[in-house]
């Protein structure tokens, strides 16, 4: 079991912490699930409206929304910043329209928005180079006089000369 899995708390799904890439991928899956649910529910809603009202534009709109949400869901799965941000913005814009203009209830929309938000956080953490520690493997060289090994990262790069820790003679920089 990895360190990140053991660090997860009981309520990890409410506000996930990211210690490893696996954490970010798991949280991004919440966004994928939310986007997929949005696609299915919205698609079925438009198809239902088509069968009730007979308006072909409802059917085309449902197919369009379904395809867009499927593409965005795949983009979140592939950890795309654009897809996760677009999915969140489109969903929030549609819900604001639903509540403010049409005056309808939100239902489970806050939960889906929360999952999309967490997926968005995960993707940005995954793609953010500043949040991941950059660990370079040590570059080990051998002294040409005594053969002792030394790590290049232990020396200042602007120093005029490096000295071997074993024999105290001049050591090569490269």
Tell me, what's the pLDDT at 130? 40
CA distance linking residue 14 with residue 105, whole number of Å:
23
C-alpha dihedral, 40 to 46 to 48 to 50, nearest 10°: -150
The per-residue pLDDT string of the chain (174 residues; one tens digit each, 9 = 90 and over) reads: 455 555 556 555 566 667 777 777 887 888 888 888 888 888 888 888 888 888 888 788 778 888 888 888 888 888 888 888 888 888 888 778 777 777 777 777 787 788 788 888 888 888 774 455 555 677 888 888 888 888 887 777 787 888 888 888 888 877
What is the domain partition of the chain in residue ranges? 18-127, 140-171
- H or E element, residue 65: helix 56-77
- H or E element, residue 19: none
Q: Are strands 140-142 and 149-151 parallel, antiparallel or unpaired?
A: antiparallel
Cβ neighbours of residue 32 under 8 Å, at least 6 residues apart? 73, 76, 77, 119
- H or E element, residue 124: helix 109-127
Half-sphere exposure of 87 (CA within 13 A, CB side): 40
Report whether 167 contacts 146 (CB < 8 A): yes
> If you count them, how many residues does the chain have?
174
Tell me, what's the pLDDT at 9? 60
Give me 3's structure tokens. Answer: 């360190």
């Amino acid at each position: 079991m990895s360190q990140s899995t053991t660090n997860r708390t009981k309520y990890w799904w409410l506000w996930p912490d990211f210690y490893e890439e696996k954490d970010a991928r798991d949280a991004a899956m919440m966004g994928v699930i939310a986007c997929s649910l949005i696609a299915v529910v919205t698609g079925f809603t438009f198809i239902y409206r088509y069968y009730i009202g007979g308006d072909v534009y409802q059917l085309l709109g449902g197919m369009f929304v379904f395809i867009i949400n499927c593409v965005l869901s795949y983009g979140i799965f592939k950890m795309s910043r654009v897809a996760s941000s677009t999915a969140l913005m489109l969903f929030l814009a549609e819900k604001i329209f639903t509540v403010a203009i049409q005056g309808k209830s939100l239902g489970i929309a806050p939960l889906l928005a929360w999952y999309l938000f967490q997926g968005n956080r995960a993707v940005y953490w995954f793609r953010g180079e500043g949040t991941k520690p950059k660990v370079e493997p040590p570059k080990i060289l051998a002294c040409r006089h005594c053969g002792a090994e030394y790590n290049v990262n232990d020396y200042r790069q602007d120093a005029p000369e490096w000295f071997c820790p074993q024999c105290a003679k001049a050591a090569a920089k490269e």
